[in-house]
């Protein structure tokens, strides 16, 4: 899948943010869903963060 332009990426982000305080993982999930990404594509695009796995787990909850 080609990388979408800025406006295509930002619209789902802004819609999520308009709901009030949201977690980064919620925004990422909303963005992936709006782009129609598969679980495999999401794991390719969002590699594990270096460092503490607990921090990563908390970020995506």
Contact between 57 and 23 (Cβ < 8 Å): no
In this structure, is residue 35 part of a structural domain?
yes
pTM of the complete model:
0.56
Enclosing domain of residue 33: 6-46
Q: Averaged in consecutive runs of 10 residues, what is the pLDDT profile of the chain (61 residues)?
A: 82 88 85 85 65 52 52
What pLDDT is attached to residue 7? 87
In this structure, is residue 36 part of a structural domain?
yes
User: Residue 22, Cα to own-chain centre: how many angstroms?
Assistant: 12
In this structure, is residue 31 part of a structural domain?
yes
- As for how many domains the chain has, the answer is 1
In this structure, is residue 15 part of a structural domain?
yes
User: Residue 27, Cα to own-chain centre: how many angstroms?
Assistant: 5
């Amino acid at each position: 899948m080609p990388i979408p332009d800025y406006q295509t990426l930002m619209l789902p982000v802004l819609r999520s943010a308009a709901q009030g305080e949201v977690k980064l993982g919620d925004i990422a999930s909303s963005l992936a869903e709006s782009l129609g990404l598969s679980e495999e594509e999401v794991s390719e695009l969002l590699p594990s963060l270096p460092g503490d796995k607990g921090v990563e787990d908390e970020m995506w909850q």
